[in-house]
Structures are given as C-alpha cells and as structure tokens.
Structure 1
Amino acid sequence: MNLEEHYNDLYSRSIKKISSDQYEIDHLINASTDNRFGITLLIRPPIEVKNEIQKFINALKIIEPNQYYYKNSDIHITIMSIISCYNGFNLNDIDISKYIELIKESLIDISNLKIKLKGVTASPSCLMIQGFMSDESLNSIRNNLRDKFKNSNLQQSIDKRYSIQTAHSTVVRFTEKLNQKLKFLETIKAYKTYDFGTFNVKTIELVYNDWYQKEKYVTNLFEFDV
C-alpha cells in the first residue's frame, strides 16, 4: 500500500463529507453505559511528539471546544486489536500469559522500528495524524501476529473489522454539530503537512482497553522491548 496516496484519498473524501455536514457524531463517547472492552497491542509516541500533536489539538479546541480531543495519555498507534472491543468482554475470560507468549514470538528479530508522524488525514467520524513506517518492520509484526493467532485456539478477532495497514493515530472525534465549520476546516488544512516528529519505537504495550483508549479504563498488561 502507498500510504501517502491512501491518506490523501481518505482526506479528500472525508473533508468533502464534513464540508457537506455528512460527518458522523459519536453518541457513545461520553456514555457511562458503554461497556465495550478488548485487548490491543499498541505504540505510544514520546512526549515531545505528543506535545506537537497537542499544538494541533489546541488550535482546534479554540474553534470547536466541545468536540472530543485526545489527551497525551490516550494518544497511541494501534499495531493490532487482538480482541476488538465488545460489550461484556472480561479479562477473566482469557489466559493473558498465553497471549504474551504468542506476541513475544511475533516480535523475534524485529528491530529499528521507526515511525514518522507527519500531516493530518480524516474520516467522516474523526481526525487522525498520519503515520509512516521507515521499513516493513511494522507490517512484519502484524503478519507474524496474524499467523500466530490464527494457528492458535485463543480468542481473537484480528482483521474481523478491517485489515490494519497504516500507522495513524486518532486524535479528535466528533461529538456534536460543528458550529464554526469553515474555520475548523481551515485549521485542519493548515496542518495538512505538519511534521509532528519521528521516533524510534523502544517499547510496545499490550493493554486492556475501552473503545477510546481512555487512561482511566486502560490496564497495562505487558511491555515488550524492541
């Protein structure tokens, strides 16, 4: 996949929808009754990169303060949703040690994992920071995970929703009508090619999480050094 083309195509189609008020409002994001949980393997950018992302977020907050903006603690890049969030999932339903072992096997011989976060893209429901990989290491991890888990009898839902191929980070979700849509879109455009920073991945986390990766619901299950 050509990531730049993919992000640009997604941006063009989604901005058109947002411009014509066809964006999707998330009605569950602040719901106390939301009981969707799962387990995810993810990367967290370093603080200096997150702070650059917050510059973008803060510029949007001034214009549309009531949308949902990700805190530094919640910003992440998903490597793989091992068990996609669903109502009623409980950690007691699985043996997490077996998951850790399979993931360890999937990370063998993986090194020099580097990600550049540059530019902004969108979907009809959210805004994302574009992520670019320096080589095929991330795809190798994902393919290893697919093989290991599909050949196991462990509960998993890898690729059930979609086959993940990017390294994006969702940072804004729509929770109500845009009141200053034109200014909001102008600000997004201003950050379309903004360089948020490049970093070497040192640690990969396995977490128990809600749909939005809110810190208050996330439990760190294991950290893998790479």
Structure 2
Amino acid sequence: MIQSIYDQMWQRFELASAHNDFELDSHLIDVANDSRRGITALAYLKQGNSLILDEIMNFQETVRELEPNQYYHPLDELHLTVLSVISCVPKFELSEINVHKYAEIFFSALSTIQQIEIKYSGVSASPNCIVLQGFPANNALEEFRNELRTQLSDAGLRVTIDSRYKLVTAHSSLIRFKTPISDGQQLFKLCKQYRNHDFGSVVLKDFELVYNNWYQNLAVTKSLARGSVLDQQRV
C-alpha cells in the first residue's frame, strides 16, 4: 500500500514535469509573518544513522545544481511525521488548548510501543515537492499512530487528524518548489536516477510533540513533550 501511494505521487510528478505544470509555494515559504501553526508528533532523522543524512545531503546538492532556487529542508529539520494532531491554520495559539492533556496522551501512547525502524529507499515527488521514501520495518509506527488517534479521540480534544488524508506512509519531505522549475524534464530524469537509491535505515527511539509552523522550521518550533521508547524518559 505504501509503495502504491509513492507510485501515485510519482505519476503526478511525471505528468507535471512533462507539461511544466508544477505547484509553487512562493507566497508563504519565505514570509516571516506566516501565522500558520499546528501540533505534530514527530521524530527527527538526525538522531539516527549519520550516513543517511550524508546521502540526503548529496542528493539535495545534486538537485540544487539544477534547481538552485527551490526550498531545501535543512538536515537538522528533516523529520518523520508520526501524526499531524492539529493541522497548521492561521493564528492558532497554544492558549487555545490544554497543552498538558495533549502531552499526557503523547506519553501514554509512547509507552505502548517499541522503537521504530525505517528503511529509506528511493525518492518520490509530486507537483510541489520531492520526498524521501520511507518504509517501516515493523508495525510500531502504525501502532503508535493508531494509539494516538484512539486516545485523542476518546479524550474529546481538539484535533484535525487525517482531515486531508489518512497518514500511512513514512516519507520525509526534502525539497519544496517555490520558484518556476527551469527544466522539468531534466529534473524528472535526475530524480529518476534516485528512484530506487538506497539511503539506508534509521532506528527512531526519541519522539516529540511540537507546536510548529507549516515547514517545521526549528526557529519557530516549540517542543511540548519529549520522550524515548527505550527508557520512557520524559521532558
């Protein structure tokens, strides 16, 4: 199922490349006063195997040579979204929710799972971004997501879980298109070279619940809860 989702994305990317019909995020990606905020459970890739980050950096730099004016997610901000609890909406403030209750549920769900291993194999893309294809090695990610969904729903807290689509993949966004693509077919050919590239595997044991903007910029992100599946340490 996960591969079929990546394949569907790729087909849309191929069509956009052929017709130069990309979706550009040019009006907000560099705007300092973008007020969109949300709540997300995630894990940063920087906690894992550094060789993966090297592979990602090499890929990003290769694309940058062809498309220097796109948005390249910084390596220390690359992450796996466990669940978008509240999708980013304009002017959302933490004062609107009981942060403590969300943190309690985050820790409760975290206590039920094992560490999560993700294999990153190849890239996919859509008309607006390029992503790293992630494939869970076990059911831990799905179990974590479902536990969060269940407990948040049972608690009657404000959520927008799965409002756009049900999150089942384990992808990480690498590049977003913010300016016109100079040569769509060349970009497609370049990405096709990495379609099945082995980026490596990562074991994720540290997770966070964060208050974030649309692009998960660390300068804006505020950690609401942090924990590990190994020792259940909480912050």
TM norm structure 2: 0.91
1:222 & 1:143 partners in 2: Cα distance? 19
2:181 & 2:89 partners in 1: Cα distance? 29
Q: Cα distance, 1:15 vs. partner?
A: 1.7
The residue that corresponds to 1:30 in the other structure is 30
1:140 & 1:169 partners in 2: Cα distance? 19
Structure 1 unmatched runs, 5+: none
The residue identity in structure 2 corresponding to 1:36 is R
Native 8 Å contact 1:67 1:175 kept in 2: yes
Structure 2 unmatched runs, 5+: 230-235
Paired positions, count? 225
2:193 & 2:119 partners in 1: Cα distance? 19
Native 8 Å contact 1:51 1:72 kept in 2: no
RMSD over aligned CA atoms reads 1.3
Native 8 Å contact 2:85 2:161 kept in 1: yes
2:63 & 2:57 partners in 1: Cα distance? 10
1:1-35 CA-partner distances (Å, limit 9, x unpaired): x2122212321232212321121000211123311
TM norm structure 1: 0.94
- Structure 1 vs Structure 2: percent identity of aligned residues? 35
SS at the partner of 1:8? helix
The 5-angstrom pairing of residues 152-163 of structure 1 reads: 152-163=155-166
- Structure 1 pair 181–14 and aligned structure 2 pair: CA distance change class (3 A): closer
Q: Cα distance, 1:112 vs. partner?
A: 3.5
The residue identity in structure 1 corresponding to 2:149 is R
The residue that corresponds to 1:13 in the other structure is 12
The residue that corresponds to 2:212 in the other structure is 209
181-190 or 132-141: bigger deviation: 181-190
The residue that corresponds to 2:186 in the other structure is 183
The 5-angstrom pairing of residues 88-107 of structure 1 reads: 88-107=91-110
The residue identity in structure 2 corresponding to 1:16 is L
The residue identity in structure 1 corresponding to 2:30 is N
